[in-house]
Structure 1
Amino acid sequence: MYIHAVSHYLPTEVVGNEHFTQLNGLSNEWIIERTGIQERRKAATGENTNTMAVEVTKRLQEKTDLSTVDLIVGATYTPYDTIVSLAHEVQHHLGIPDIPVVSVSTACSSLLNAIEVAEGYFALNKATRALVIVSEHNTAYNNEQDKVSGHLWGDGAAALLITKERQNEGDFAIKSLLTGGAAHTPKATTGVMMKPMDGGVTMPHGRDVFINACQYMPKASQQILDRCGLTLDDVDYVLPHQANLRISRNVMNTLALPESKLISNIERLGNTGCAGCAIALSEQWDMFQKGQRIVVTVFGGGYSYGAMLVEV
């Protein structure tokens, strides 16, 4: 598989830490020390998961032709409409008839599961060009007055054109991809929850989330390298789920890799859920050099995890 093109969309409103200082007394220094977050983006009135998905698709259309897409896979845990998914909204925008259109949710790991769905369609010869869209409207469900997690969340979206065969020399090769569920662990199903009718986003067991994320992301990263016959010395960058800068640094420390190889956007964007890694990939796309290898590793509530090795 190959990533032929990628785009991202961020709402224009920037919410700094001072907002939470005024709201519930959390200082800028306290938030940065514990999360690394300095600011985040918030969707405007009238924006939602589906509108951001369409907007980011328009941006991808400016880069590449989407008229021959034969599969659309959407991913989110913050749906605007639980019947008309973001993937269906994008199909409606593109006007492409009679193709598979599906949506998946494995919390913040959904990006890799969405790409894995495309991999399955490719393997069965049911598709060759997949549009994968990840979009999160966290602030629609967030309780800003929650001192545990109210300051973590940001909004944004990204889109990727994934192809079965290489389209041109600039494509990024997906060398291997793995995902898994870790719901067998004791607090997996209560660590992070989002119940629209019962309090929105809550994180009753934040420490357990932290501990498991710090275990599963480096573990999955090592597994994906082993599959490809590579070592950590072959890694140029690590792109972890943008949940918490302390988690990202812990992952790098566990892998014994320097922080200079860490890709992070959480400082500017907060936790943008399953869109975070794809947004960062889009932001850095033109900065990568031929031959470089990027390990994308994710962890989400539930719990879910995964890793993907990408080669430029």
Structure 2
Amino acid sequence: MKIKVISTGKYVPSRVVSNADFEKTIDTSDEWIVTRTGIKRRHFVNENENVVDLAYNAAIDAIKKGHVDVNEIDLIIVATITNQVRTPSVANLVQARLGLNQKNVMTFDMNAACSGFVYALEVASSLLNSSYHKKALIIGSEHMSSIIDFTDRGTCILFGDGAGAMIVEKSQNKTDEVFFYNASKGDDEGILWINPIVKMDGKEVYKFATDIMPKAIIEVLNRANLRLEEIDLIIPHQANLRIIQSVSKSMNLPMDKFLVNIDEYGNTSSASIPILIDEYKEKNKENKKVLLVGFGGGFTWGAAILNL
């Protein structure tokens, strides 16, 4: 498959919650949080903001940056686990806010937790290459503060709110070939569940993540017939700095091969990879071959190789 990335965008709420803020309400400290996670701050929604607002604002950012005619968008996929209603989907509501209700647009949400954006990117790429769709808007949007147990110090300090977006279209250019590896297994032991709030066995999640991320990287490289040396950057899901450092060490890769912004945003689930992509693109305009890799509840995991 071949897709061209037209533009990226993001939206992060202006309300910043520091580690010191958590010290006031639970038994924790800035040193404890930073040492174990790498997180210094996270952003929570402002009053009256919700997951649809986050998604819409990220979409508008991508549309403006790419000078995209919104009427050309005919596919919208939102990766999220925090929709406040069962239906309509966040994607449906973003469609309405963009004024596309009278257009032939396909919209739906995907629930693949922190792997959601990579899953959505593969689905969008497949639809663009096998149907009449021309231009896709893909969003990872999460209102994680709405599902946090603020009395559980092991989980509440981990998450933040935000959204990232990407607009892509089908390409005929050989350099725009994309490769994917997405997979899952059922977590029937309750290691990482949201029902209705986050419950997690941190040690087991860490063990799973540090095992599956190198495997996902190797698998997608094999599918692309590429070597690690041919990848300019690895853009990992931002769950825990120690996980990324473990992957770096186990694969004998320097940490500067990995993009990291967990210190500022915490874990924003499906939004973490697209937010990180947009931050990178704002500062770097040259074309790079990147590898996306994520893991999340489900369990789900996935990787992708594309040009940015």
Aligned counterpart, 1:91: 95
In the superposition, the TM-score normalised over structure 1's length comes to 0.92
Question: Deviation of residue 188 (structure 1)?
Answer: 5.6
Aligned counterpart, 1:284: 280
- Kept in 2, the 8 Å contact 1:128–1:165? The answer is no
Tell me the distance in 2 between the aligned counterparts of 1:138 and 1:21: 20
Question: C-alpha offsets along residues 97-155 of structure 1, whole Å, 9 cap, x if unaligned?
Answer: 22211111111100011111112212322312111111000001111220111100100
Structure 1 residue 43 corresponds to structure 2 residue 39: no
Worse-superposed segment, 157-166 or 6-15: 157-166
- Kept in 2, the 8 Å contact 1:104–1:114? The answer is yes
- Structure 1 residues 182 and 44 mapped into 2: Cα distance closer, same or farther (>3 Å)? same
Structure 1 residue 130 corresponds to structure 2 residue 133: no
Aligned counterpart, 2:307: 311
Aligned counterpart, 1:140: 146
Tell me which amino acid in the other structure corresponds to 1:213. Answer: A
1:202 aligned residue (184, 199, 203)? 199
In the superposition, the TM-score normalised over structure 2's length comes to 0.93
1:151-300 superposed matches below 5 A? 151-165=157-171, 173=176, 175-183=178-186, 189-196=189-196, 200-203=197-200, 205-288=201-284, 290-300=286-296
Worse-superposed segment, 261-270 or 232-241: 232-241
What secondary structure sits across from 2:82 in the alignment? coil
Tell me the distance in 2 between the aligned counterparts of 1:189 and 1:43: 31
Tell me which amino acid in the other structure corresponds to 1:16. Answer: S
Structure 1 residue 60 corresponds to structure 2 residue 62: yes
- Structure 1 residues 174 and 49 mapped into 2: Cα distance closer, same or farther (>3 Å)? farther
Unmatched 5+ residue regions in structure 1? Answer: none
Tell me the distance in 2 between the aligned counterparts of 1:94 and 1:114: 20
Cα RMSD (Å): 1.7
Question: Deviation of residue 6 (structure 1)?
Answer: 0.4
Question: C-alpha offsets along residues 246-265 of structure 1, whole Å, 9 cap, x if unaligned?
Answer: 00111111221101111011
Aligned counterpart, 1:6: 8
Tell me which amino acid in the other structure corresponds to 1:71. Answer: L
- Kept in 1, the 8 Å contact 2:90–2:108? The answer is no
User: Matched residues, percent identical?
Assistant: 31
Question: Deviation of residue 226 (structure 1)?
Answer: 1.4
- Kept in 2, the 8 Å contact 1:189–1:301? The answer is no
Tell me which amino acid in the other structure corresponds to 2:267. Answer: N
Question: Deviation of residue 239 (structure 1)?
Answer: 1.1
Question: Deviation of residue 290 (structure 1)?
Answer: 3.8
Runs (4+) off by over 3 Å: 286-291
Question: C-alpha offsets along residues 234-287 of structure 1, whole Å, 9 cap, x if unaligned?
Answer: 222111110000001111112211011110111100000010010000000144
What secondary structure sits across from 1:145 in the alignment? coil
What secondary structure sits across from 1:88 in the alignment? helix
- Structure 1 residues 188 and 30 mapped into 2: Cα distance closer, same or farther (>3 Å)? farther
- Kept in 1, the 8 Å contact 2:7–2:63? The answer is no
Aligned counterpart, 2:29: 27
Question: Deviation of residue 174 (structure 1)?
Answer: 5.3
Structure 1 residue 70 corresponds to structure 2 residue 67: no
Question: C-alpha offsets along residues 188-231 of structure 1, whole Å, 9 cap, x if unaligned?
Answer: 651211112xxx1111x211111111111111111111122211
Worse-superposed segment, 282-291 or 19-28: 282-291
Tell me the distance in 1 between the aligned counterparts of 2:288 and 2:96: 37
- Kept in 1, the 8 Å contact 2:34–2:40? The answer is yes
Aligned residues: 301
Unmatched 5+ residue regions in structure 2? Answer: none
Structure 1 residue 82 corresponds to structure 2 residue 82: no
